[in-house]
Every structure is written in C-alpha cells, then in structure tokens.
C-alpha cells in the first residue's frame, strides 16, 4: 500500500490521515527522515480495524498500529490528548476518541519543530506553533507549558539541539530547568536512551552544554558537572579545566568514531578528575581509580549496558599508562589485556591518540603486534613445564616476539626486559 492509498482508505472510512513528527520536520530540514509516523483523526479504533483488516495494535495505554506503507512498517496512531494527573512519564490520562483534532494532538508534543503535520490527501501543512519558522531559524522551542509534563523532554530538547545544531530558546531553557524536580525520579533507562541518542550526534558536547545552560547538568549527569572547575596543568591542557577537556575529547573522538559506546568511553575517561581532592589540584594523581568508582555509581543510576561499562572501565583504568609504557614485559601484559577486553585496539587508539596527542609505535601497531605475539601458545611450551611455568614461558616468548618486531626504542630493550 502506498502512502496515498493509505490516506485514501482512511478518508473513505470517514477520517483524515496525517504525516507527523520527525518526518515533517526533516522534510523542511531538507533531509530524508529515517521513518514516517502517521496520525489519524475523525475515526475510532473499530473503524480503523475495519478499513485495514491486517492492522495490528502495538500500543499499551493508547492505540498505535503498525501498517505496511510503502514497504515499511510504519506507526499509525489515533490523535490523542494527554492530561497530567501524576508524577513522571506514566502520570498521564490519555483521551483518543474520534473528536480529537490534529491541532490538539500537535499541542501535546514536545517542541515546535516536532509539532507539525501534513494532511496527506490535501498536501496541506498544519503548523499551529510555528515549527516551520523554527526549523528555518534553527530554534528548539517548547510547544507549551505541557513540555514539562514529561521531564525527559528536557533531555530531548538538549539532544535535539545537538542533533540539528539548533539553539534552545530562553523560555525553553526555563521549562527544562523546571523539569529538574521530576527528573530525579525518572527511570534510568529513559535517561540512558537520551544519552545514547545524544552520543550519536555529530557534536555531543552541545547536549551537555545545553543541560548546563538549563541548570540541570548536576541532576542529570553529576559526573560531568563535577568536572567543572577542576583545573589542570596549563602546559598540558591549554583548553581549560577537566570539563572543557572532556567535552573537547568527546567531540574529537565523535568526528572519527561513530560508535556511541566508544564515544561514551571518551566521555568517561577522566571521570575521576571530578573527585580530585581540592588541595591536589591542578594535579589529578590516581584519578583512574576514582574514575572507576564514579562510573560504577553512574552505571547503576542509568542502567548502563554491561558492554558499555566494561569498555569505559578499560579506558578509564588504562588511559594514563598506555601511552607511556616502555618496558616490553609491561607492554605485552597490556596488549593481552587489551585483546581480552571489550574494546578493539583501533577504538582504544582513537581515544588515546587524541588524549595523548599521538601514539607510541607499539600502540599504533597494536593489532599487528597482537597477531604475532598471540601465535605463541601453551601447546608449543617444552613438555617438562607445568602450571605457572607454562604461563611464564608464554609470556617470555611473547616478549621476544615483540622485541623482534622492532616497535620499541632500542635502549629500552636491553634493561628489565621481562618486568
């Protein structure tokens, strides 16, 4: 069924079909939307089911149907109004009968750029809140005070700002600020979902800076807020404090690496600097250890996926020593740890290269070295060796293999090779 056939059928059943949300916004941004959502007015659930016998309701608290339109599974919702009756995103009473108009449905939405509809048959834009102008002027603006009904919209607005490089209006920043109280009780999954979306944008720092401007960074991501004012030695960090450094590394890594879990690890690499005792500043001795504690707290709060946590833990604990190792034994041990971790050498290097302003040859060639040293296995050990002796033999043979590859400065190979 084509989009037009769908709209015609809805029309024949006595209703009107609209394209809504991101697809309309993206049309005016001049980009292809990744999905197309529809809203239907003037008919009830029964009539929809009659007009489309294969339709299938996936909504829990209100009807949302899945329909195959233009070869894709698309969401078709009945127009609805929402009324806040309690706290959080579940505290709504929803009305969705055939009397709800498209304007009422658009009114319940978060930002003006997302609150436009196109009447498909008439090819007519419904834009009661100036969404098209806001797209043209690159503005993120709350539709109404109902923005605050769902506190996670504060994160959505910050994410939209990063996603489209649009500016959030002053009133919207105030509305975001007023979400603070309820945000504290939002489920971690919802916070994580928006963080993940933000990390997929071209310049994720905009997300955190927007939350800061709205005065809700402490509540949403205290581990990032704590980096503010944590000074660092100027000779190594002309960019400023640990907050500026972290956001800079995050954006730089995002330019070269699309994976949100790697971008998250870049965000987390200096978490420990937020806990540096004030008398120690501008130095941050042992911030790797403190960083792991910060990550642990955050992971619990926002239900961080296990893989994300493992990757970030590895980067936090290894980022300081990885680039400055010189002893072959330590390098072999590290490369084996890297191999057994959840992060690839290339992804790890994307972060370290930017944080350290370059990579030592053994790191830049980590994959090549690993291919060689992992060829050494216990099966080749002399038969008289047992238990721990086999482990020691493997390690020594790997060190020899590493030295042969000549990625280390010669002077270091002579002394303490096996430490």
Q: Considering beta carbons, is residue 143 or 242 the nearer one to ligand CTP? A: 143
Q: Which of 15, 21, 131, 274 binds ligand CTP (CB under 6 A)?
A: 21
CA distance linking residue 65 with residue 56, whole number of Å: 5
Q: Considering beta carbons, is residue 116 or 299 the nearer one to ligand CTP? A: 116
Kindly state the smallest distance separating residue 156's Cβ from ligand CTP, in Å.
6
With CB atoms as reference, the residue minimizing the distance to ligand CTP is 22
22 is a contact residue toward ligand CTP (CB under 6 A): yes
Task: Say if CB 227 and CB 218 are below 8 A apart.
Answer: no
Kindly state the smallest distance separating residue 55's Cβ from ligand CTP, in Å.
19
In this structure, the dihedral spanned by the alpha carbons of residues 367, 369, 375 and 381, taken in order and rounded to 10 degrees, is -140
82 is a contact residue toward ligand CTP (CB under 6 A): no
Kindly state the smallest distance separating residue 134's Cβ from ligand CTP, in Å.
13
- Cα-Cα-Cα-Cα dihedral sign, residues 142, 148, 153, 158: positive
x-marked contacts with ligand CTP along 24-43 as a string, rule CB under 6 A: -----------x-x------
CA distance linking residue 189 with residue 197, whole number of Å: 12
Task: Say if CB 175 and CB 216 are below 8 A apart.
Answer: no
Q: Which of 110, 223, 288, 347 binds ligand CTP (CB under 6 A)?
A: 110
* Residues of span 123-162 touching ligand CTP by CB under 6 A: 150, 152-153, 156
Q: Considering beta carbons, is residue 33 or 381 the nearer one to ligand CTP? A: 33
Q: Is 396 exposed, middle or buried (0-12, 13-18, 19+ CB in 10 A)?
A: middle
**DSSP string across 385-415:** --HHHHHHHHHHHHHHHHHHTT-S-HHHHHS
CB atoms within 10 A of CB 297: 12
Q: Which of 109, 141, 327, 398 binds ligand CTP (CB under 6 A)?
A: 109
186 is a contact residue toward ligand CTP (CB under 6 A): no
Nearest to 51 by CA among 5, 11, 18, 9: 9
Size of site (CB under 6 A) for ligand CTP: 12
Kindly state the smallest distance separating residue 108's Cβ from ligand CTP, in Å.
7
Matching residue, tokens 């994720």:
204
Residue 223 token pair: 């581990």
Residue 69 token pair: 């339109």
Tell me the window of 55-63, 109-117, 221-229, 320-328 that interacts with ligand CTP (CB under 6 A). 109-117
Kindly state the smallest distance separating residue 179's Cβ from ligand CTP, in Å.
11
Q: Which of 114, 226, 276, 313 binds ligand CTP (CB under 6 A)?
A: 114
Triad 274, 276, 279: Cα angle to 5°: 135
Q: Considering beta carbons, is residue 37 or 252 the nearer one to ligand CTP? A: 37
**Three-class DSSP labels, 245-262:** HHHHHHHHHHHHCCCHHH
Tell me the window of 110-118, 211-219, 318-326, 361-369 that interacts with ligand CTP (CB under 6 A). 110-118
Can you tell me whether residue 73 is helix, strand or coil?
strand
Q: Considering beta carbons, is residue 164 or 362 the nearer one to ligand CTP? A: 164
Q: Which residues bind ligand CTP (CB under 6 A)?
A: 21-22, 35, 37, 109-110, 114-115, 150, 152-153, 156
């Amino acid at each position: 069924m084509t989009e037009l056939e769908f709209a015609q059928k809805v029309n024949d059943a006595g209703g009107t079909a609209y394209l809504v949300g991101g697809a309309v916004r993206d049309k005016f941004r001049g980009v292809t939307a990744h999905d197309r959502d529809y809203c239907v007015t003037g008919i009830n659930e029964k009539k929809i089911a009659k007009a489309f016998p294969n339709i299938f309701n996936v909504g829990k608290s209100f009807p949302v149907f899945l329909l195959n339109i233009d070869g894709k599974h698309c969401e078709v919702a009945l127009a609805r109004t929402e009324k806040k009756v309690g706290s959080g995103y579940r505290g709504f009473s929803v009305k969705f009968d055939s009397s709800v108009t498209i304007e009422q449905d658009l009114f319940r939405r978060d930002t003006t750029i997302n609150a436009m509809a196109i009447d498909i048959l008439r090819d007519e834009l419904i834009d009661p809140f100036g969404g098209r102008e806001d797209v043209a002027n690159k503005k993120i603006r709350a539709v109404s005070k109902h923005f605050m009904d769902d506190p996670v919209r504060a994160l959505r607005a910050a994410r939209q700002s990063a996603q489209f490089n649009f500016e959030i209006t002053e009133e919207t920043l105030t509305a975001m600020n007023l979400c603070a109280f309820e945000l504290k009780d939002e489920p971690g999954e919802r916070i994580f979902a928006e963080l993940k979306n933000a990390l997929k944008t071209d310049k994720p720092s905009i997300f955190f800076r927007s939350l800061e401007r709205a005065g809700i960074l402490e509540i949403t991501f205290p581990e990032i807020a704590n980096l503010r004012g944590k000074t660092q030695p100027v000779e190594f960090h002309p960019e400023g404090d640990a907050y500026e450094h972290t956001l800079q590394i995050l954006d730089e890594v995002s330019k070269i690496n699309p994976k949100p879990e790697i971008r998250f690890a870049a965000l987390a690499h200096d978490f420990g600097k937020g806990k540096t005792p004030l008398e120690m500043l501008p130095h941050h001795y042992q911030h790797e250890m403190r960083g792991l504690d910060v990550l642990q707290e955050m992971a619990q709060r926002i239900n961080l996926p296990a893989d994300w946590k493992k990757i970030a833990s590895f980067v936090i604990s290894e980022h300081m020593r990885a680039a400055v190792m010189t002893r072959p034994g330590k390098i072999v041990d590290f490369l084996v740890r890297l191999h057994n971790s959840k992060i690839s050498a290339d992804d790890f290097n994307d972060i370290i290269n930017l944080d350290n302003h370059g990579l030592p040859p053994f790191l830049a060639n980590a994959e090549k070295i690993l291919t060689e040293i992992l060829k050494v296995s216990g099966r080749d050990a002399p038969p008289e060796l047992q238990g721990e002796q086999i482990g020691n033999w493997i390690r020594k043979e790997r060190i020899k293999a590493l030295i042969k590859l000549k990625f280390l400065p010669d002077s270091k190979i002579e002394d303490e090779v096996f430490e």
